[in-house]
Amino acid sequence: MQQSLQIGKTQWIYVQEPNKEVINQLAQEYGFHEVIVDDLIEINAQSKIDSNSKHFFLALTFTKYLENEQRYLFNELDVIIGDNYIITTNSLESTTINNLFEAMKNQWDLKEWSEKESPYYILYRIIDEYYDKTMKSLALSSKKLLDIQENIASKKAENEVVQDLMNEDLNKIFVKHNFLSQEDVMDDLIEHVDDLHAKQLNVYFNSLKVKLARIISTINALTEKNESLMSAYNTFIGIKSNNSVSRLTFVNAIFMPLTLIAGIGWMSERSMMTGSENWRIAYPLFLLLCAGLWFITFLIFRKLVMKK
């Protein structure tokens, strides 16, 4: 899908999920360098910037969350800026860009916004929208960790908790490395805008750097909380296991003396049955001894359990 919007003297061309044919057409029309064409066709694993060629090129790797699968995918944003145009492409469908595109189309006022006709201002708006969307996504992740924390605290934790914590941990690692690669690129972008002697634009991009730092610090905080919850869950499981072992020990302690006495009684069966009077005395005494040992053992372990 390809759309175009005229903003003052600048034309914004937005291409979503471009194929090789569309990219080659754009390259031929605007005279892209072959390196830029390769970057547009291939998926970049990390963000990069190239301000040395005829066209300014920027690749930023953002993330798209798949709620059904509870995982993130790369959604690369590629930007090419010329004299009076900006071309942006997304590797995946992006509601963020769609909403911004419609908002700028409906709200644009040339008299009010004439000083912001620069393609770099449009670039700022795009990155700013992505950063805001990322912060909202991290807020949802924080809420999910709170739900997991409540389940652990209320002792409702089940096996799914481990899966949820592992998914959250892997997702945070994925998102963190994605945005870490943008730090150096953002510094180069600010330097490039500064070389254009556009002080007003420089203020905007410095604000983006602050937002990026906030995103990374938030991810670090969520990662630490995720690790703490995993430790708390392991402690919870350890306590449950210790309680189970204590119950088994309690039962074994009760029945072990009885088993021993039963074994001795079984070995003495022949002598008990010899004579008409022996068994009448031996069996009642044997049963009383079993009951007495069971009762004494029960009292001792009940006292120990109550102390705990």
Both 185 and 50 in a single domain?
Answer: yes
pLDDT given at position 258 = 59
Both 34 and 180 in a single domain?
Answer: yes
pLDDT given at position 145 = 81
pLDDT given at position 171 = 79
Based on the structure, what is the number of domains in the chain? 2
Whole-prediction pTM value?
0.73
Check residue 117 and report its DSSP letter: -
In sequence order, what E strands does the chain have? 2-7, 10-16, 48-50, 56-66, 71-81, 85-90
Both 270 and 292 in a single domain?
Answer: yes
- Rounded Cα distance between 127 and 268, Å, is 89
Both 121 and 202 in a single domain?
Answer: yes
**In the listed set 180, 207, 238, which residue is the last one of a domain according to the structure?**
238
Both 59 and 160 in a single domain?
Answer: yes
Nearest to 307 by CA among 223, 221, 246: 246
**In the listed set 217, 238, 259, which residue is the last one of a domain according to the structure?**
238
Asked if 76 and 211 count as a contact pair (C-beta separation under 8 A), the reply is no
pLDDT given at position 110 = 46
Both 155 and 173 in a single domain?
Answer: yes
pLDDT given at position 273 = 47
Both 146 and 289 in a single domain?
Answer: no
pLDDT given at position 68 = 74
pLDDT given at position 263 = 64
CATH code, 83: 3.30.460.20
**In the listed set 238, 259, 276, which residue is the last one of a domain according to the structure?**
238
Per-position DSSP letters for 177-209, written without gaps between them? HHHHHHHHHHHHHHHHHHHTT-HHHHHHHHHHH
Both 134 and 76 in a single domain?
Answer: yes
Nearest to 47 by CA among 192, 209, 206, 180: 180
Domain that residue 18 falls in:
2-238
Both 15 and 133 in a single domain?
Answer: yes
Per-residue pLDDT of the chain (308 residues; tens, 9 = 90+): 788 888 888 899 999 888 889 999 998 998 888 888 888 888 766 788 988 778 899 999 888 777 777 777 778 899 999 888 999 998 888 888 888 888 887 765 544 555 577 899 999 999 999 999 888 888 888 888 888 777 776 666 566 677 777 777 777 888 888 888 888 999 999 988 888 867 778 889 999 999 999 999 998 888 888 888 777 777 766 666 665 655 666 666 656 665 666 665 555 555 554 455 565 666 677 677 777 777 777 777 667 655 55
